[in-house]
Amino acid sequence: MFKTFLSRKFFSLLLSSSISILVISVLALSDSVIAGVMLGEDAVMAICLVVPAYSLAGFGACVVALGIPILYNRAMGEFNKEKADRCFAFGLFMAVVMGLILYTVFMLFGDAYLRFYEPSTSVFNAAKDYFFWYKYTILLLPIMTLMDEMVLADGDETLSMVSGIVQIVGNIVCSIVLAKFVGIEGIGFGSFIGTLVALLVAFAHLLRKGNSLKLGFYFSFKWLVDVVKYSAIDAGTYLFLACFTAAMNRFITFAYGPEMLVLGAVILFVKEIQIVFDGVGEAFTPLMNIYLGEESYDAVKKCYNLSLKTAVVEGLALTLLMIFVAPFIVELYDISDPAVYSYAVLGVRIEVFGLVFLSLLYLLSSYYLLIDKIKLGFVMSALRDVLVVTPVCVVLGYFFGIYGMFAGVAIGPALTYVITVLYIRFRYGKDNYPLLLSEKLKGFKHKFYEFKLNPESIVGTQHQVEKFLVENNIEQKTISKAKLLIEDLYMLIYEKNGVDKAVYAECTVIIRETGVQIITKDDGVLFDLSSEDVIAGSIIEFMVSGYMEKLKENKKYLTTMSYNRNTFRIKYEA
């Protein structure tokens, strides 16, 4: 599974992206757990009231941040570095502006928001104390989200993972220590400290060799529309989660009484954890954007199939894990009433049966965003997170009690998945599901190859390319040039990295109207194959340097996601 360039890069990104995407959820959940263990049920309920506001802030942060890496990688896929730099500069500007807007809104209307739930006096006062410092965390949230996404998009998955871990661990440690001295206000302050330190870690990427991100500020109304458009689906997750949480809090208070509000925290735990499934989409997004920009559709298919298998495995694994650890999760909330405790434990075990369907829905919505089916992806997210699951929970909860409410959390995603698949198959054709690429593939001729670099695999790839070009009646001179280019390029990469180093590569060959395009990628040492100024230290290096001089403007090199990427165009002879 890990023996191709694509799979190695995908799974390398998966861990980092999963940690990064979980940060917002883990911050809220860890605060609830710390409050339950150290301060009691009132503190848990107080934090539960603030969580929808934090999810709403997460929506605001994501709506100006998540579209940036998509546009950035698309520009890099087109070998347009200037456009990519403007994209990052625009993201920095909007992240600062959005942070100030969110902070101001919650400063002015925070108390009114908390009173909406009609909490007891003690819960209201605790929520107000906690919210005081959390406003500063919200101030940093947009810029933190942007930097996490961009560090990952630039291929530094290790630093992205470290930043996420620092934020989570820093929040937990600081919150525990400060809660001992100043109570629930200390938990809010601890979250702010953890976020600030993690932001500094993320900015360290700018000092890294191979970093392609350039600081600056840029604004354009057109870009604002594009960024919001591409951020809408993933950002909507936090908006819909906020709506779902607020609705369930009100329903629980109405149907079962304020003393049962802690069940809302239990439901929220599983709903927050589900965001880990978006890590698969986060992992394939930079890769998929590059392939889409190149028009390497065979690679798109391989990337999607790998992501699909991963999504199913993640869904099943998390389902089994949550069934096993349900009692331990509930104990963290310090529920003293045995009846409520029993409801909560069985409730967790019931609601997790919808996780596999949630994982598949996250995958589909992430993919449709990348191919500009944004309305489809957005509606899918709304159905998944609020429009279907909320009424199902309310109806089942009203007629069948607390367990019916928990069952609604599981049934909602399954029902949404069925509705989605049926609609897409009917609307676009069953043979076109799920990738919707049939129109792009009509008359489009290309091949995608992946291999571990060694002389045998290079020659094997060369022969496969020759066969593909012959089958499509390409002239012999062009075929000979393509064969020579592929052999010499990859042999030079093999030579540069040494015999003992495992290097994985890809090659995409596209038949264009004016010539044959060859796109190469490898995860070896960073080296510009297209340069004409390389000092020849070997026969192969001399041959490649001479060949690059002949290609002139029909070649480009761009470090992308910290790996080598080149494109060459061999024009047909008149």
State the Cα–Cα distance between residues 555 and 538, nearest whole angstrom.
22
Torsion sign over Cα 95, 97, 102, 103: positive
- Under 8 Å between Cβ of 183 and 35: no
DSSP for 219-241 reads --HHHHHHHHHHHHHHHHHHHHH
- Under 8 Å between Cβ of 201 and 163: yes
Tell me the pLDDT of the chain (574 aa) as tens digits. Answer: 458 999 998 998 888 777 777 776 676 678 888 888 888 878 888 888 887 787 788 888 888 888 888 888 778 777 788 888 899 999 999 999 999 999 999 999 888 888 887 778 888 888 899 888 889 999 999 999 899 888 888 878 788 888 888 888 898 999 999 998 888 999 989 989 999 999 999 999 888 877 888 888 888 888 888 888 888 777 787 788 888 988 998 899 889 988 888 888 888 888 878 888 988 988 888 899 889 888 999 999 999 999 999 999 999 999 999 999 999 888 877 787 888 899 999 999 999 999 999 999 999 999 998 898 989 999 999 999 999 999 999 999 999 999 999 999 999 999 999 999 999 999 998 889 999 998 888 889 999 999 999 999 999 999 999 999 999 999 999 999 899 889 888 988 888 888 888 999 999 999 998 899 999 998 888 776 666 555 555 556 546 655 555 666 666 766 666 678 888 888 887 6
- Under 8 Å between Cβ of 65 and 221: no
Residue 317 is encoded by which pair of tokens? 């694994």
pTM of the model: 0.79
- Under 8 Å between Cβ of 347 and 267: yes
- Under 8 Å between Cβ of 312 and 360: yes
Whole-number Cα distances in Å, 300 to 162, 287, 288, 440, 448: 29, 9, 6, 12, 10
Phi then psi for residue 503, to 5 deg, are: -125, 130
